[in-house]
Chain A
Amino acid sequence: MFLTHLRRELAGRRRQTIVVAAGTALAVALVMVVAGVSAGVSSAQASVLQSVYGVGTDLTVTQAAEPGTPGEGAPGERFEFGAGDGTTDDGSTQLSQSTLSVVRGSATFDASVLDTVRGVDGVSAATATLALESTTFTGELPDQQAGGATGGGADGATGGAGAPDASGTAQAPPTGGADGAGGTAFGLDRSTVTGVEAATTDVGPLAGTTLVDGRALTADDAGQPVALLDETYATTAGLAVGDAVTVAGTALEVVGTVASTTADAATASDVWVPLDTAQSLSGLAGQVSSVSVTAASAADVDAVAAALATALPDATVSTQADLAASVSGSLTTAGDLVRSLGTWLSVAVLLAAFALSVLFTVSGVGRRTREFGTLKAIGWTNGRIVRQVAGESLVQGVLGGAVGVALGLVATLVVDAVAPTLSAGAVTAGPGAGGAGGPGGDVPSGGPAGLAEQAASAVTLHLPVTVGIVLLAVGLAVLGGLLAGAVGGWRAARLRPAEALRSVA
């Protein structure tokens, strides 16, 4: 009887059923999409972090560049060419020079810090990295005796990397002046090179990558001229396993290519080399730029951070939470938008749907005064009437929930198919980075300001559909139904049969 009555009522009052279910469905679908986007943004953030800092890294130890000496690299990337540099051919001189220096804004420190870190209680693993930046300058000049040494100056005229020389350059050329520098061409190519402890794979930036081709670095590679390439970089540069990549004038054998495990972001570096190779190539023997630390247990992270800060007073110790805060770009904007606007919108629509459901149920009870009065007169208990009303509301809620889940899935799939791309960058060098990157911001090749955000990457937003999200959606629909049923049932229970019949009469 209960089910028959319920079915007949819902079918008999189809318009009300559809309106209430549609309201619930809309709210549920919205909640699903918002929850999905929120989860998607979180996972995108995680993937960016992972690609930059590696999986399993709880803490990083870095040292901020001291003001006035931004990094160990030369300020403004100075290239010096002697008179004999370059090759002359067909009336023009080809120039090429590479520098390998520490990423702007970060500083190196003695590798002995690694031992200090390993000695701190609660540290289960630690590895050191040396993040470097390789800049290759190539140029072509018209053949002349006096022109050789001013390549940096010419570049400076457009951007300022070598600003102090700019005026000199303008006055210097006896031939082929500013308007007639025919055949003059410059190129600046930058790539990131990271030195990693070859045998360490469970912590550090390389831990967030998977091998695509070739082999990984091993302990035997220490000091050897070998390199791993980021898959994307390798493709762009037209390199494959077995080829040679030139870093700071030295040819390194490409032994493998790696990709980010999340596949959504590039790895943190274009070229990965053994730590001591990086040190010798850059002339930074015994120096590292960052130490990645894994705490023995997640609960200890803060304690370990404090202990590290005490042991290394000059260092900057960052936890994952700090790192997460450093993820910037539209990803963060999307995250904020979802969390604020999306959440409030969901809550508003949900409340509206609940209110609609309650309103319809209460008005339905009002319309059915005669029916409920009669049923009470023939002996129905209040409990039975409440059950009937609540059951109808609940089924409406569940119907709305089911439609809403379907709608939400479709919407999620649509967003997933569209796959909006969000940019994200992780600031690696802490507070000093922005300032250090400033001076050369207009360099045409992308600019040092961009370099401060190492591994700035485009992350595709994927909306996960988890059982949790579906359960949340269904739970909300059921809650709405129960709420409406409770209010409606309470109203129906309050009807006294005599009054109900009297009011009808």
Chain B
Amino acid sequence: MSRATTDRTGAVDAGRASGTRRGDRATPDHRSDPTPDPTPERGSTMYQLTDVTKTYRRRGEVVRALDGVTLTIPAGQRVAIQGPTGGGKSTLLQVLGALDRPTSGSVTLAGHDLSTARDRELTAVRARQVGFVFQGFNLVPTLSAVENVETAFAAAGVDATDHRRRSLEALDRVGLAERAGHRPGELSGGQQQRVALARALVTEPAVLLADEPTGSLDEATRDEVMDLLEGVHRERGLTLVVVTHDSAVAARAERRLRLAAGRVTEL
């Protein structure tokens, strides 16, 4: 294994993660994963969306949240998605995050078709390949910071060894090691979002999806969180997709997309 493995805490996921980050072609570990591990090199295709449509009914009316979206996101790219409220940003993020299947069209993640995958496969994809950060942090209020990070390990198929140590390391990475025992209610908004970030990254996913990650934060904290996000992006080479209203946040991305009325345009 390469250098990538040695500085990584999770031995089991090291192959996949190292491949993601450095482009090393490590042998993927398929032992309990129903989906193929994506080991894309930087620049290879991470997401391929082809004519994706997503409709749902709201109060008897059909809402076309995504309307024929065709989009390619290369591995390791830092993408910002902007657009008006109700333009389909969150829906796109849910399709990318294997939370929902498109009504029509196809979505592939590292070559694996998410639009036809079964629920079980989508769950496994979310557990292993995708990390989420939400605007409202979405931490479990009764659990401490480190326990919240550990919930990521409770997901399907993730190896169960040394959770606590890896979770503490993840917290340390976001600068919250000394707050590991605090509950969300005892932490500031910025600290909570950092815990959420540690939770999203602790299983070393290939993709990090962030839905308005700085929407609930003040400017100073926003910059801290964005610095962190960009830091881990640089370190790990993960693909970062950030939905944001904030132009300052969007300006820091490599690529900016606008989503309005379900259609994507490059900015």
Contacts and interface: CB of A to CB of B under 8 A. Distances in A.
Nearest to A10: B142
Interface string B113-142: 000000110011011100110111010111
B153 A1 contact: yes
A200 to B, nearest CB: 72
Contacts of B127: 378-380
- How extensive is the interface on chain A, given as a class? 20 to 34
Given A1-B163, A378-B152, A379-B126, A12 B141 contact: yes
Interface string A365-405: 00000110111111111101000000000000000000000
Interface stretch (B36-44, B94-102, B104-112, B247-255): B94-102
Interface stretch (A408-416, A442-450, A458-466, A495-503): A495-503
29 contacts: A1-B147, A1-B150, A1-B163, A4-B143, A5-B142, A5-B151, A8-B143, A13-B142, A371-B138, A371-B141, A374-B132, A374-B138, A375-B140, A376-B123, A377-B132, A378-B126, A378-B127, A378-B151, A378-B155, A379-B123, A380-B127, A381-B155, A381-B156, A382-B119, A382-B123, A497-B99, A501-B90, A501-B134, A505-B135
Interface residues of B, number: 34
Nearest to A13: B142
Contact of B154 (A13, A380, A496): A380
Given A497-B99, A505-B90, A374 B154 contact: no
B207 interface: no
B200 interface: yes
Given A1-B151, A374-B134, A501-B94, A384 B156 contact: yes
B236 interface: no
B128 A504 contact: no
B199 interface: yes
Q: A interface, by DSSP: helix, strand, loop or mixed?
A: helix
A11 interface: yes
B69 interface: no
Given A381-B155, A501-B90, 6 more contacts: A377-B97, A378-B152, A379-B155, A384-B154, A384-B155, A496-B100
Contacts of A382: 119, 123
B3 to A, nearest CB: 28
Contacts of A376: 99, 123, 126
A388 to B, nearest CB: 9
A58 B132 CA distance: 76
Given A380-B154, A381-B123, A5 B90 contact: no
B177 interface: no
Nearest to A504: B136
A9 interface: yes
A28 B245 CA distance: 56
Nearest to A388: B154
Contact of A8 (B136, B138, B147): B147
Nearest to A368: B140
A501 B151 contact: no
A502 B124 contact: no
B261 interface: no
Contacts of B97: 377
Contact of B138 (A9, A370, A496): A370
Give the most central of A374, A378, A497, A502: most B CB within 10 Å.
A378
B142 A11 contact: yes
A147 B131 CA distance: 116
B158 interface: yes
